[in-house]
Amino acid sequence: DNALVWLRRDLRTEDNAALYHALRAARRVWCVFVFDPEILEPLPRADRRVEFIRDSVVGVDAELRALAASHGIDGAGLIVRHGRPLQEIPRLAAALGAQAVYASHDDEPEALARDARVRGALADAGIAFHGSKDHVIFERDEVLTQGGGPFSVFTPYRNAWLKKLDDFYLSSYPVERHAGALAPKPAGETLPTLADIGFESTNLHALKLPSGPAGGRELLADFLERVDHYADWRDFPAVKGPSYLGPHLRFGTVSIRRLAREAHQRLTAGSRGAEVWLSELVWRDFYHQLLHHHPRVVGGCFKPEYDRLHWEHGKHADELFAAWCEGRTGYPIVDAAMHQLTRTGYMHNRLRMISASFLTKDLGIDWRRGEAWFARHLNDFDLASNNGGWQWAASTGCDAQPYFRIFNPVSQSERFDPEGRFIRRYLPQLAKLPDTLLHAPWRARPADLAAAGVVLGRDYPAPVVAHEEARERTLARFAAVKPAA
C-alpha cells in the first residue's frame, strides 16, 4: 500500500505520530507540506512565522532524506505544494497511488472544518483519511472530571492530568525503525523559496531563535541546562529563564512527548524547576481542551455574562489602543514589552500578563483587540493559548481569581524588573533614570528628570491614564455586569 503524510503543525520526523502510523501501515510513504493561500494571504509580506515554517520545511526535507538514506533509500524528502489543501491533497494522493492520507490532529475550529472538507474529497476518490493525536499529551475528552465533563479550572485539571500520565503517554514513536518505507520523491520536486510563496525575509535570523527541528533540539538542550532554575527565574523578563520553545511547540518542530518526558524525569528526581515547567506544558494542554470543548471562546467570553461588559469605544479608545500597540502608554514596563513584541515576535510571559491586564483593566479596551494584536505579532501565536491567556488576564475566562484582583503596572514593574534591565533594553531614552524612578517616570522630580536628560512628553510620553482612577472604572465596569460576591 502507498500512503501520504500531510504535515501541518508537526514539522519534524522525530516522534511524529502521523508519520509513524503511515510507516507502520504502508509499504511506500511520502510526506507533503502545503502552503495554504487562505492562511497566507491575510498576513503581511514579511512575517517571521512564515519564514520559520519555510526554514522548518527545509529542515524536515533534510531529515527525511537522511532517515531514508540510513535505510539505503536515495532521493526521499518533503514534497511541498502551494495551493488549497482541498485540491492539493487529493490530487497528490491520487498521483502517488496512495490509499490513505495520514495527518496529526489540529483542533482549531477552522482547521477542523478544512480537514472535514479534505476528508470528504478524499473519500470521493476512495482514499482514507487517518488523524491522530500528536500536538498535546492529552487531547479532547482524554482528561475529564469525575462527572464526565470538561474541566474549566486549571488546578484540578492539572491534578487529573498528572494522575493519568504514565510512560505510555510519554514515550516516543520510533519512526527511525520503520523509515525503510519512505519512498523517493517524484522527479522534479523542488522546495520553494520564501519569494516563491510571495514573502520577504524578516529579522528572524538575527534574533536568537533557531528554527526547524534542529533549532528546536538546540533550544531544548540549552534550556535543560537551566531548567532547575526555572521556578526562580521565569518571572523576570531580563533573565534568560524560560525555554523560548513556543514557536517550536506551535509548529511541532519539537515533540511535546519529548519535552514532557524530560520535565517529568527531572521532576521525579526532585527538580522544582522541572515541576513548574511541566505545569506550564499542562496549561497548554488545558487551553487546547478548553477550545475543543468551548469553541465559542473564539470571539466570545468564556464566562458568558461578560459578553455584556461595556468596553471603551470611540476615538479616545482608538487613540489609547494605538498608544498601547506602539508602546507609548507612558508606563515603561508596558511600553518596553510592546516594543519587545513588535521587534522580536516574542514577549515574556510575565509581560504578556502585565500588558494584557493594562489594556483591559487600565485602558478598558476589549480583550479581543489585544488578542488580535498578539495574534499578528507573536512568533508562537496559538489560538488556544492566546485566547486563554487573554481571557485569563481580562477576567472573562477560566481564571479562579475574581476580576477585582487588578495588576498594578508600577508594582509589577518594581517587582519583576527591579533594576530596570529589561526596560532599559527597549527604552534607551530612559536609561539614565535611577532604578527607583524608572518604573514611574512621572513621579520623578523635575531635577531628576533633567539630570537623566528626559523631558516627559518629548523623549517619553506622560502616562495616558492614571492607574488608580482606571482601577475604579474597571471595578464599576465589571460590577455592572456581575456584582463582586
- Give the interface size with ligand FAD as a residue count (CB under 6 A): 26
Any catalytic annotation for residue 233?
no
- Give the C-alpha separation, 81 to 36, whole Å: 8
Among 8, 258, 352, 369, which residue interacts with ligand FAD (rule: CB under 6 A)? 352
Q: Which range in 61-69, 118-126, 189-197, 379-387 contacts ligand FAD by CB under 6 A? A: 379-387
Give exposure, 281-304, as e/b (b: 16+ Cβ within 10 Å).
Answer: bbbbbbbbbbbbbeeebeebbbbe
Q: Please identify, using beta-carbon distances, which residue of 76 and 340 lies nearer to ligand FAD.
A: 340
- Give the C-alpha separation, 421 to 418, whole Å: 8
Considering the rule CB under 6 A, would residue 393 count as an interface residue with ligand FAD?
A: yes
What grid cell was written down for 154?
486549571
Q: Give the nearest distance from C-beta 24 to ligand FAD in angstroms.
A: 28
Any catalytic annotation for residue 442?
no
Considering the rule CB under 6 A, would residue 378 count as an interface residue with ligand FAD?
A: yes
- Give the C-alpha separation, 157 to 398, whole Å: 12
Considering the rule CB under 6 A, would residue 342 count as an interface residue with ligand FAD?
A: no
311, 312, 408, 442: which is the annotated catalytic residue? 311
Residues between 193 and 252 that touch ligand FAD (CB under 6 A): 234, 242-246, 249
283, 312, 408, 414: which is the annotated catalytic residue? 283
Q: Phi-psi bin for 252: left (phi > 0), alpha (psi -120 to 50), beta?
A: left
Q: Please identify, using beta-carbon distances, which residue of 135 and 424 lies nearer to ligand FAD.
A: 135
Q: Give the strands of the sheet with 2-7, arranged side by side.
A: 78-82, 28-35, 2-7, 100-104, 128-132
What is the end-to-end Cα distance of the chain in Å, rounded?
63
Q: Give the nearest distance from C-beta 421 to ligand FAD in angstroms.
A: 18
Any catalytic annotation for residue 367?
yes
- Give the C-alpha separation, 247 to 242, whole Å: 13
Q: Which phi and psi (to 5°) does residue 47 adopt?
A: -140, 120
Position with the least CB separation from ligand FAD: 389
Among 90, 212, 327, 389, which residue interacts with ligand FAD (rule: CB under 6 A)? 389
Q: Which residues are catalytic?
A: 280, 283, 311, 349, 367, 390
Residue ranges that bind ligand FAD, judged by CB under 6 A: 234, 242-246, 249, 280-281, 283-284, 287, 349, 352-353, 356, 374, 378, 380-382, 385-386, 389-390, 393
